[in-house]
A and B are shown apart, each in its own frame.
Chain A
């Protein structure tokens, strides 16, 4: 069942790539959407089974004998199965949106989207570190192609190239780490490696952890590995952005968490503080950069950087309650951010530009995208009962218990900055508030071909469903309990190793978690209240003179120069390693 969820979209992708050019476009759409729908149902069944007992499938039937494995497992615990299901649901939304949005694409686009889904699901479900590297590269290569899909635009190919070089470099550093681990343990499976890690040289294990995490942190766009993200998001087709921001970037954090708990738990004492430092810097820098943007997609891209920083901070607490919060935050963020990207896509379709100032007041009559921006902004601010709020509340409570009093304010600042920027766009574009500005007169291709007189429901419905779902997530108590159960299993290394290697029981006792605490509600309210001045001040034209040198320096650092990005990456690896050793 687990294998089928990965094999089916890959197989259909190959068929579409080979024969799709002779099929009419509606049929291609139907085949692709139908396949993803089938995958969604299949993964739903996997999740239901995983909630009873995690599913372990050995490829080719190479089961372990006597606790020793020579095969490659796929492990569907509730967390992995749930994340794979999220991938499928978002792909479904992106494909439905593409029906009318990307009118000029060929069947090869659908084939790539299916293959991308398969690669992401496989990356989530694999129980083998080397396979994780292979699927990481597969998913990355397809992501480069999808980013550069409109190859006739100069920005597009430049963004895709930066994305490709930096991500691949990160992946190779990860492979070096995998090599070191294999040299020590003679194993490649997460579980098999984890079982043999105790008693190894502490320094070597720490270095290996730093190297393995590098590629995943590049994918997760943690500062200073984040430079590629905005370049790629600003130029990728909108449905692809939905998948990038909604789930692909977050898979990087998932991979760090999986590698830590399945393999390294307890062996790298510095992991928590080191990851937390990166998380804090990422959350804050992403928020600041978000406020400074005027290109709507770039703005949303930096907001993703900021929110992934918060998720990383949640994971870094290395505690199951905090992890549950991070997972819930991820879920809420995926819905809100996907809906925002779709709404931005409708703007691009209408006005052939995404420059916020040029769009001033022009969205007054677009009621649905306007509502999505308002709801999305409030959701990002952490307004109860949104999914982001519920996740944040759980994370803050866990951080408080760990003595990390600064975690909650960092989250509030990040939410206020990113939400303020989105609300500013809403005020300026959809309400016509503030002075009208002259634009850069740089027009972009609409991605859609001809302009539409009315937005079709296939473009609006996914945004409404995703945004609407995300802002009421905090009310679904059953889901919160499910996620906390999943997180309880996720952090239980002994259970994971036993379940994978000897088919043993894997039950984690987890107390039910409740986001409705006084501190949580106050934190959410603080995010919303602080977002308002950020939005209103942002409507005034220039940045205050005092801050201008700092702002210019920040902008100059995000130069689009691939060599500089590579230098930052190297410095980041060194810094992360140093933090691991000193913290």
Chain B
């Protein structure tokens, strides 16, 4: 079992967080958040991978064949739905920030204190 996919997942997570921390644009922040979530897809699919396994669809193959783990695929799908909701909502909020504050640079937004 190769460690590379696990390292890739960690790398994507860190890259996304780095983008969020250094970002000068709220839309960019939201997209970076999606990037961090992509790390979870990679991790989940890696966990379910079986060498030589096919997709876990049993309509045209024998149920005895080797398949990858369907549970993580269901989890990744759920995860994608969550991502779509969160991203859409946060982008809408970013649009509102732009309208009400006239800027989407986190450095320019006055503190909330």
Q: Which residues of A contact B (CB under 8 A)?
A: 130, 134, 137, 141, 144-145, 148, 151-155, 157-162, 164-165, 168-169, 172-173, 175-176, 179-180, 182-183, 188, 230-231, 234-235, 295, 298, 555, 558-564, 566-567, 570
Q: In this assembly, does B73 line the interface, its C-beta being within 8 Å of a C-beta of chain A?
A: no
Assess the A161–B40 pair: CB atoms within 8 A: no
Whether A179 contacts B100 by the Cβ 8 Å rule is no
Which residue in B21, B36, B47, B82 is a CB contact (below 8 Å) of A564? Answer: B21
- Expressed in whole angstroms, the Cα–Cα distance for A478 and B92 within the complex equals 49
Cα separation A563 to B84 with both chains bound (whole Å): 21
Indicate which residue in A151, A152, A157, A165 contacts B30 across the interface (CB closer than 8 Å). A165
Q: CA separation between A231 and B112, bound complex, in Å?
A: 6
Q: Which among B21, B71, B110 is the interface contact of A563 at CB below 8 angstroms?
A: B21
Q: Report the bound CA distance from A500 to B50 in whole Å.
A: 30
Q: Are A558 and B82 in contact (CB under 8 A)?
A: no
Nearest B residue (CB) for A292: B113
Q: How large is the interface on B (under 10, 10 to 19, 20 to 34, 35 or more residues)?
A: 35 or more
- Closest residue to B112 on the A side, CB-wise? A560
CB of A176 within 8 A of CB of B112, answer no
Within 8 Å by CB of A183, from B13, B40, B47, B90, lies B47
- Which residues of chain A are near B89, meaning CB under 8 Å? 141, 144-145, 164
Q: Which of A169, A173, A176, A180 contacts B20 (CB under 8 A)? A: A169
Q: Is the CB of A561 within 8 A of B107?
A: yes
Shortest B2–chain A CB gap in Å is 14
CB-defined A-B contacts under 8 Å, sample of 23: A154-B101, A157-B100, A160-B93, A161-B90, A162-B112, A164-B89, A164-B90, A165-B90, A176-B43, A179-B40, A179-B43, A179-B47, A180-B43, A182-B72, A188-B71, A231-B112, A555-B113, A560-B112, A560-B113, A563-B22, A563-B29, A564-B21, A566-B17
Distance from A220 Cβ to chain B, minimum over Cβ atoms (Å): 20
User: A165 vs B29: C-alpha distance in the bound complex, in angstroms?
Assistant: 8
- Cα distance, A254 to B2, chains bound together (Å): 37
Contact A561-B106, Cβ < 8 Å, known A141-B86, A176-B43: yes
> Which positions in B face A, CB cutoff 8 Å?
9, 13, 17, 20-23, 26, 29-30, 33, 36-37, 39-40, 43-44, 47, 71-72, 75, 78-79, 82, 85-86, 89-90, 93-94, 96-97, 100-101, 106-107, 109-113
- Which residues of chain B have C-beta atoms less than 8 A from A172's C-beta? 13, 36-37, 39-40
> Nearest-CB distance from A236 to chain B (Å)?
12
9 closest A-B pairs by beta carbon, nearest first, are: A154-B100, A157-B96, A560-B112, A183-B47, A560-B111, A566-B20, A161-B93, A563-B21, A567-B21
Q: Please determine whether A161 and B94 come into contact, CB atoms closer than 8 angstroms.
A: yes
Residues of chain B within 8 A (CB-CB) of A231 are: 112
Contact B112 A169 (CB under 8 A): no
Roughly how many angstroms separate A234 CA and B82 CA in the complex, as a whole number? 26
Knowing A137-B86, A562-B20, say if A182 contacts B39 (CB, 8 Å). no
A130 to B97, CA, bound (A): 33
CB neighbours of B110 from chain A (8 A): 560
A172-B39, A295-B113 given; 14 more Cβ-contact pairs under 8 Å: A134-B78, A134-B82, A144-B89, A158-B112, A161-B26, A162-B112, A172-B40, A179-B43, A182-B75, A560-B110, A562-B26, A563-B21, A563-B29, A566-B17
* Whole-angstrom distance between the Cβ of A112 and the nearest chain B Cβ: 12
* Bound: A235/B96 CA distance, A: 15
User: With a CB–CB cut-off of 8 A, which chain A residues contact B111?
Assistant: 558-561
Shortest distance from the beta carbon of A221 to any chain B beta carbon, whole Å: 15
A562 to B71, CA, bound (A): 34
Q: Is the CB of A148 within 8 A of B39?
A: no
A182 touches B71 (CB 8 A): yes
A155: chain B residues at CB < 8 Å are 112
Partner of A159, one of B23, B86, B90, B112: B112
Identify B23's interface contact among A145, A148, A158, A563, CB under 8 A. Answer: A563
Residues of chain B with a CB closer than 8 A to A157's CB:
93, 96-97, 100
A183: chain B residues within 8 A (beta carbon): 47
Q: Is the CB of B40 within 8 A of A175?
A: yes
Query: Roughly how many angstroms separate A151 CA and B33 CA in the complex, as a whole number?
Result: 22
- Write out the residue numbers on chain A whose beta carbons fall within 8 Å of the beta carbon of B17: 169, 566, 570
Chain B residues contacting A558 (CB-CB under 8 Å) are 111, 113
A155 to B100, CA, bound (A): 9
The answer to whether A234 and B33 touch across the interface, beta carbons within 8 angstroms, is no
Residues of B within 8 A of A179 (CB): 40, 43-44, 47, 72, 75
Nearest Cβ distance between residue B85 and chain A, in whole angstroms? 6
